[in-house]
Amino acid sequence: MGKKLQNGNDLPLHKIIMVGTGGVGKSALTLQFMYGDFIEEYDPTKADSYRKKVTLDDSECFIDILDTAGQEEYAAIRDNYYRSGEGFLCVFSLTEQESFNHTQDFRDQICRVLDDNNVPFVLVGNKADLIDQRQVPYAA
């Protein structure tokens, strides 16, 4: 369950962490959800946080999304991000097999850091529109 906000608002707060290797589209998906716009230009993220009021199971709540850096140089600070999350969206690019191969590593690291093998973890294949560049087979 979400935590209560500290600003006097009684709406629950659910913390979602976006993970995945660099360039798979974590920021593009986050910004699409937040603002309804598709952003084509790629600017590597360090870490950005977004909050949006949504209706979940007929009740209003806030979703706090942490869009993390996929670049390897930020790997050392990932554990701190993982500790703050309730659920995780692991994004990979269908046009990059290596990004798919690393999804199990992200899950393993999150489960280790949280000491919990039942962490809510959703796998998201991105860039499905780039059919002629697809590397990850449907059966994967």
pLDDT tens track for 3-25? 555 544 689 999 999 999 988 99
Residues 6+ apart with CB under 8 A from 55: 61
Residues 6+ apart with CB under 8 A from 73: none
Q: Per-residue pLDDT tens for 25-49?
A: 998 999 999 988 887 775 666 778 9
Q: Please calculate the CA angle 1-24-127 and round it to the nearest 5 degrees.
A: 100
Q: Identify the bridge partners of residue 66 per DSSP, sorted by sequence position.
A: 17, 49
Give residue 2's pLDDT. Answer: 55
99 has a pLDDT exceeding 90 = yes
- Indicate the helix (H) or strand (E) that contains 109: helix 103-114
Q: How far apart are the first and last CA of the chain?
A: 32
Give residue 127's pLDDT. Answer: 95
DSSP state at residue 97? H
Mean pLDDT computed over every residue of the chain: 87
pTM score, two decimals? 0.85
Share above pLDDT 90 across residues of the chain, in percent, rounded to a whole number: 63
Structure tokens at 24: 């798979």
